Structure 1
Amino acid sequence: MEDVARKAGVSRALVSLVMRDSPKVSPAKRTAVLESAAALGYSPNRLASRLASHRTHTLGVLFLDLHNSVFADIHDGLSAGLAGSGNQVMVAVGSADPRTELEAVRSFVDLRVDGVILAGYTGTSEDLAAALRGTPGVVITREMEVDGVDSVLTDDFRSGVLAVEHLYGLGHRRIAHVDISDWLPYTARREGYLHAMKEHGLEPQLVHSDMTERGGRSVMEQFLGSGAELPTAIFAHNDLTAIGVMEALAGRGLAVPGDVAVVGCDNIEFAASPLIGLTSIDQHARELGQVAAQAMLDRISGTAGPASTRKLEPALMVRRSSDPAA
């Protein structure tokens, strides 16, 4: 910066103003400084200047998975919500591994981000609080009890209820649920399913899988090979799992929904394709991202109060995988 000031014949303070795009500099002086900087190959250290103002205008965003496009939808919502705020985003993937998640959060904090947004966090509240070390946070898809950390999610219990109510209304009484692994802290969809089944006096049937298309296909193939009585309808934890279930059924020559109706959850774009036609519970992923972005902007600006929870209402999207008339 000293060399730029000397070459332009101005003070170091004026060069600093130009590099910060201050409106207090005349056009002639600004041109002289920029031309001198270009001639000397000078590039300002933006991180240093941001740290000097106690803000880096950078946010860390942790996604559970990038293979599931619901997180791409959340990212789109975050981008829309942060547009024009002057904040940049750094992204990490947790892969449903609490240790990987916490390493990413600690790295974000070490890099002095202004806040951390987590979409699909699987660890504990205590570990998250320790990793954040007071850095503002927003958790998407899960309700957390951590000081300074807001929660933004869709009512997953209601999602499970909606799926069962829809299938029951179509005449189904043997309704199975392809659930996620027991250790994952996302049990509300299962709880909603169990509640609705009990309300209708139906016997629940749970099978566990991971959250992938491959996992859904594998668990359904195992079930079909077991000789157990086939359910007339299946509610899967997410759309990818539901699509895997549909693939396994098709592989055995079973028709959807003629032999088995299938309902997913998330309402990803691929599931809505006419080629798939998957009935799904819309989680409003893009809106989740937008609401989370605003919550973060409020928190880092100091206008937010105590940690809060914002919960959206899910919506049933009926397609031909459950209702041939759809």
Structure 2
Amino acid sequence: MKQTPLARSVTMEDVARDAGVSRALVSLVMRESPKVSPAKRAAVLQSAAALGYSPNRLASRLASHRTNTLGVLFLDLHNSVFADMYDGITEGIAGSGNQVMVAVGSADPGTELDALKNFVDLRADGVILAGYTGSAGELEAALRGTPAVVITREMEVDGVASVLTDDFRSGVLAVEHLHGLGHRRIAHVDISDWLPYTARREGYLHAMRQFGLEPMLVHSDMTERGGRAVMEAFLASGATLPTAIFAHNDLTAIGIMEALAIRGLAVPGDVAVMGCDNIEVAASPLIGLTSIDQHAGELGRVAAQVMLDRLAGSAGPAVTRKLEPVLMVRRSSDPSAV
């Protein structure tokens, strides 16, 4: 069977030959240079359209030492808080001429570093990391001087800016809210020990000490399944139940609520539950989860602006931007909340 040869890509030389002009003039037209007369511009564009010429944008970007591309690394796309950050990032760069490449780290430092190295090898102009779990040294080595902004974590790395919400204050807010409702046995379902996100835990411990209460820490992953498993194990142990539980994030809190419901326990009648992040589903009337708003969309928008300022050369030294968390009270902690 005879194979049809692959069609050759149309080049600037082809356009120039068809339009009866030089290749240099075609290049000027494609770069939208004002130095071309309207008549010649029209002739070149007409030939380009007739031949199906598509400019090699990557080549032109590399020639200008910019790719107009940002690498964006997310910890986990199963958690919609990162989708909210993505929306904020894309809103923040809208109209800037930049586009994003997305990778997912999945709480694996090795996967994170591979993604970062790929971004750098592909000559991304900058990198935004949402939920980075590796070390400062590994980050600096992988970036090789590429500008970066880290969301949700403060990093002390030259050239790396940080945008985050005050997680310590989030932990304090949670305990203050539950204590104000009369709870004294307040547990915190925390993340795995190895993850470098300890500020919510530290805020919880600080507030518990302030109120003279005994901390109750249980570790889990950051998923709905993990929250359900932790609560099921606790219920099976026969230990005295806390009257209130503050989960590290909303997904974990929802899993806890599911396990309590399966056992016939009422929320908040038997156990009050609250989370953190304020993802969209937390506000659903079917769930009504009290949460702490981390302003995920705003974090993405601020990170995008910080990155654009850095690429424009107007940002100065790397900065840290910290937002204030906001308590969102719903019926999972307070039956009177509407």
Q: Would you say same fold, with TM above 0.5? A: yes
The alignment status of 1:80 with 2:98, answered yes or no, reads no
The residue type equivalent to 1:182 in the other structure is: D
Residue number in structure 1 paired with 2:199: 188
Give, in angstroms, the shift of residue 278 of structure 1: 0.3
Partner of 2:5: none
Q: Aligned pair count?
A: 326
Residue-by-residue CA offset, 1:132-183 (whole Å, 9 max, x unaligned): 0000000000000111110000000000000000000000000000000000
* Cα drift, residue 23 of structure 1: 4.1
Q: Which runs of no fewer than 5 residues in structure 2 stay unpaired? A: 1-11
The answer to whether the aligner puts 1:268 opposite 2:284 as a matched pair is: no
Moved more, 95-104 or 303-312: 303-312
| Counterpart amino acid of residue 224 in structure 1 | L
The residue type paired with residue 260 of structure 1 is V
Residue 330 of structure 2: aligned partner = 319
The structure 2 residue matched to 1:293, chosen from 298, 301, 304, is: 304
Per the alignment, residue 123 of structure 2 pairs with 112
| Aligned counterparts, 1:199-278, within 5 A | 199-278=210-289
SS in 1 for 2:164: strand
SS at match of 1:265: coil
1:125 and 2:136 aligned: yes
Q: Which amino acid aligns with 2:286?
A: L
- Cα root mean square deviation, aligned: 1.0
In structure 1, the residue corresponding to 2:275 is in which secondary structure?
A: strand
Report whether the alignment pairs 1:30 with 2:23.
Answer: no
In structure 2, how many angstroms separate the alpha carbons of the residues matched to 1:175 and 1:22? Answer: 66
2:29 and 2:253 map into 1 onto residues whose CA distance is 56
Give per-residue Cα distances to partners, 1:93-128, cap 9 Å, x unaligned.
Answer: 000101100100000000001000000000000000
Runs of 4+ in 1 over 4 A off after TM superposition: none
Letter in 2 for 1:247: E
Amino acid in the other structure paired with 1:162: L
1:225 Cα shift? 0.5
Q: Percent identity among equivalent residues? A: 86
- Letter aligned with residue 200 of structure 1: F
Deviations, residues 205-241 of structure 1 (Å, cap 9, x unaligned): 0111100001001111011100000000000000000
Matched, 1:172 2:183: yes
2:6 corresponds to which residue? none
Q: Distance in 1 between matches of 2:61 and 2:166?
A: 38
2:160 pairs with 1:149: yes
Residue 53 of structure 2 corresponds to residue 19 of structure 1? no
- The Cα shift of 1:307 comes to 1.5
Q: Which amino acid aligns with 2:197?
A: Y
Structure 2 residue aligned with 1:59: 70
In 2: Cα distance, 1:229 partner to 1:26 partner: 84
Provide TM-score, normalisation by structure 2: 0.95
| Deviation (angstroms), 1:64 | 0.4
SS of the aligned residue for 2:252 comes to helix
* TM-score, length basis structure 1: 0.98
Highest CA radius of gyration, 1 or 2?
A: 2
Displacement after TM superposition at 1:88 (Å): 0.6
DSSP-derived class of the 1:150 partner = strand
User: Counterpart in 1 of 2:313?
Assistant: 302
- C-alpha distance in 2 between matches for 1:76 and 1:33: 39
Distance 1:22 1:186 in 2: 50
| Letter of the structure 2 residue corresponding to residue 286 of structure 1 | G
Output the CA distance in 2 between the equivalents of 1:17 and 1:239: 54
**Take 2:40 and 2:227, find their aligned partners in 1: how far apart are those partners?**
65
